[in-house]
Structures are given as structure tokens and as C-alpha cells.
Chains A and B, each alone.
Chain A
Amino acid sequence: MSFDIALILDSVPKLLAGIGLTLQLLLLSGLFGTLLGVLTCAARLSRLPILRWPGWLYITLFRGTPLLVQIFIIYYGLAQFEAIRDSFLWTFLREPYWCAILAFALNTGAYTGEIFRGGVQGVDKGLTEAAWALGLNRWHRLRYIVAPIALRLSLPAYGNDMISLLKGTALASTITLLDITGVARNIVAKTFAPYEIFISAAIVYLCMTWVIQRLVAWAEWRLNRPLRAS
């Protein structure tokens, strides 16, 4: 097995072209997914069963099935329904780009929903009691006491989930998208040099993972500052 350095040097710029798409998938899905997660968490913790049950169902479905299956159901599966093909949604849903974002966002929403729920339930009950005793209403308690603390508690698991999302974006290559992995597979198909190309791609992902980890570590450091005894 020879290591074709020239090939690597030639391919890296092409791989970097894929980063743009990977970042778009990561950021858009991350954003929508996190918002969805907040809504899901609220639904799960709501007093109304009519909100709790759909929340539970959504989380069970999206955490109990593989991401690849979810992508295929959305990309290939939705085309089965005439109602969807005829509607305005079709302009989005026939594009692999939006199908991927939808799948990733729904998947992330389920996982972050559970993470946030764990965070909220981890807030010391005594703190909400003290806030209640001081007269703070439900919204104030949520905004000033529960949310900040739940955020800090959720952060490690949330960071891990963002890394999982990054790795998940590689599956966009299975529905023709040219993200880092998609570009890599293309090049390998032409050059039959899987080691050089795929390992280069892996290095790119590892760098991105490292960046996310550093961001999370910084956020953790900031949020934990009040807790460090002097």
C-alpha cells in the first residue's frame, strides 16, 4: 500500500469544499433541533397530558430508530404521498438538502429534549421553593432560577449531542449531498485510494469535533464560575 501524498494534497482543497455544506447542515440542524428540544422539554414537563403524550411519542420514535432510517423515510418515503407531492412543502421536501436538515433537526430535537428535561429536573427543589416563597411567579421562576441552572446542568450532555450531530451530518452523503463525506466518497470512487482520502476526511472531522469540545469546555468554565469557592 503506497501513500500517495500528491493525491492527498490535491484532494484536501476539494474536501474543504465540502466543509461549507457540513457546517450549514450542522448549524441549521443544530439551531432548529435545539429549539425543538426546548419545546419538547416543555411538552414533556407540562401539566397537560395532551402535551405530554405526543412529546413522549416523538422522543421514543426518534431515539429508538436509526438516523439513517429517519433520513430515508423523509427523503424517499414522503414522496409516496400524493398529498405531499401536491402541496407547497414539496418544493422543500424534494430537495435532499432540506430533507437532511429536517431529519437531523427532528433527531436532535428528540435527544436535546431529553437532555433539557434532565437538566430541569436536576434543579434542586429547594431553590424553586425559595423562589416561590419570595413570591416569584411561574414565569419568573423559570427565567431567573430554573433555566440558568438547567442550562448549566445540561451543558456536558448537550455538547456530546452536538458532536453526535456533526458525525450524523456525514450521512447526508447517502442522499447525494456533497458534504465532506460525500466529496470524499466521490474522490475515492474515481481514484480507488480509500486510505488517503477517507483518513484526510476523518482528520477534518476530528478538528471540527475538537473545536466543539473547546467551545463547550469554555462555556462550562464560564457557567461554573459562581460555584467555585474562592
Chain B
Amino acid sequence: MNAETPAILLDKVSKRFGSFEALKQVSLTVARGERIVVCGPSGSGKSTMIRCVNRLERHDSGEIFVNGMALTGGKGDQAVVRDNVGMVFQQFNLFPHLTVLQNLMLAPRLVQKRSKAEARDVALRLLERVRIPEQAEKYPAQLSGGQQQRVAIARALCVNPKIMLFDEPTSALDPEMIKEVLDVMVALAREGMTMICVTHEMGFARSVADRVVFMDHGRIVEADAPEAFFGNPRHERTRLFLSQILSH
């Protein structure tokens, strides 16, 4: 793998659920260190696309490469994903029966086989990074939504992924807590993390994204740098979507 290898490469990827075609021949290349924001109406396939990247969904045809390694649909995929990609979910998915610290330490200890002390170290440092070190011994139920999502981001970072995927990370949050999560994501982007972020937060897209991708009905309609995307969208559907989402 050299510096030219893209972080993520999707080549004509298709996926269907029963009779519903969620992805139709989607192709996308994400360079290392690039920040991509994916937007589009619900049902457009944006979540499906990133879930295929970290193999939560198995694509039906086409090829997906993560840091040069192909996702074959077999057992080896989890190793590829685990070593390269971290995921943050809309519903946080923190383990409710474990403390924040235990949530963070679980993967480093079990998967990376680190010692308890090492894992604890990593966990506490990351909690500092997301600015809630004092919540270490609390249970998820005792935290606010914004705090939980920040813990989720820290948890994903504990295993040192090279690429971070965000699936509508702020959609389940009360408005006043969206900023604290976006701030963490912006800081992450500034440090050079490769990111694909599915979101409706266009302010975030404008300030952080290298490219904004618009998807509709399972296809990528348009992909451009933010100034071009927001200032001069080329397709009618993109214009329509932007007018709906930016009007309020």
C-alpha cells in the first residue's frame, strides 16, 4: 500500500433488499485524509453505502476496497474492517450494562489484546479528547445524548482506525447538543482523519468537507467541493434537495 492507495474505493457497487434496490452501481473514491459528507433524502442509499463499507451490509455486486484490501464477503472482512474503519451510529449503540470506561476498554482488551492498564490509558486519553473525562465511571443511561455520542466517538477511536464513518451522528440528538458532537468531529477532521459522514448538517459540510456527495434513489447524483456544491449545483435534483434542506 503506497501513498496513492485510496482509503476507500467503491466500484459499481449495487445492493438490494428484497425487491428494493438500495444502491445502483455506486462508484466513489475517497483519498487518504479526505473528508466526505454524504447527503440526500431518506431512502437514497447513503446509510446503506457506508454500512457496506464496513461490511454491516454485504454488497451484491461491484467491488469495495478498504485501504487497498478487498471486501470479499467472507470471514476475512471483519479483520479488514476492524483494523481500518471505525463507525459511529445514529443511535450511539453504547453497551448499556457497561460503564463508559468499560465501553471504551472492551475492544482494545479483547481484540487488540492490550493489557488492562494500557487499555485504560488509551481510554482515558480519548475521553479527554472528547472532553468528558469525568464521566468515566458512569453508565450510558446517566449521560445526556450529546455526551453518549461523544463517548461513542471515543470508543470507535480506541482501536485506532484510519478511517471514520459517521451514520447521521447528530440526527437523534436534541438541538442544543448537536454542537458539542460536531465540535469533536471538526477537531478530528483537523487532525487529518479520513472521514465519510452521512449528515444533514450543512454547516459542518461547508466548514470541514473536502467534497460533498449528493445521493438520490441509490445513485450518486453529484459530488463536488463545498463551494461548487452549495454555490452552483449542477443537477436539478440537487437544487431541489438543497432548497428544501436549507430553507429553515
Contacts and interface: CB of A to CB of B under 8 A. Distances in A.
Direct A–B contact present (CB less than 8 angstroms) = yes
Interface of A: 124, 126-127, 129-137, 140, 144-145, 148-149, 152, 223, 225-230
Given A129-B89, A132-B56, A229 B142 contact: yes
Q: Which of B79, B95, B107 gathers the greatest number of chain A CB atoms within 10 Å?
A: B95
Nearest to B91: A126
B187 to A, nearest CB: 22
Contacts of B45: none
B192 to A, nearest CB: 22
Contacts of B78: 132, 135, 137
A97 to B, nearest CB: 40
B96 A227 contact: yes
A130 B93 contact: yes
Nearest to A228: B141
Interface string B193-235: 0000000000000000000000000000000000000000000
B159 interface: yes
Contact of B89 (A126, A152, A225): A126
Given A126-B91, A149-B97, A152-B97, A134 B141 contact: no
Contact of B156 (A134, A144, A152, A229): A134
Chain B contact residues (Cβ within 8 angstroms of A): what range? 20 to 34
Contacts of B138: 230
Contact of A229 (B86, B91, B141): B141
Contact of A129 (B93, B96, B97, B111): B93
A228 B140 CA distance: 10
A144 B82 contact: no
Given A226-B139, A227-B96, A229-B142, A134 B106 contact: yes
A127 B111 contact: no
Contacts of A132: 56, 78
Interface in B76-110: 78-79, 81-83, 85-87, 89, 91, 93-99, 106-107, 110
24 contacts: A127-B93, A127-B96, A129-B89, A130-B87, A130-B152, A132-B56, A133-B82, A133-B156, A134-B106, A134-B111, A134-B155, A134-B159, A135-B78, A135-B81, A135-B83, A136-B106, A136-B107, A136-B110, A145-B95, A152-B97, A226-B139, A226-B140, A227-B141, A230-B142
Contacts of B79: 135
Nearest to A140: B110
A135 B159 contact: yes
Nearest to A152: B97
A132 B95 CA distance: 12
A88 to B, nearest CB: 43
Contacts of B86: 133
A202 to B, nearest CB: 39
B170 interface: no
Given A127-B95, A129-B56, A140-B110, A135 B82 contact: yes
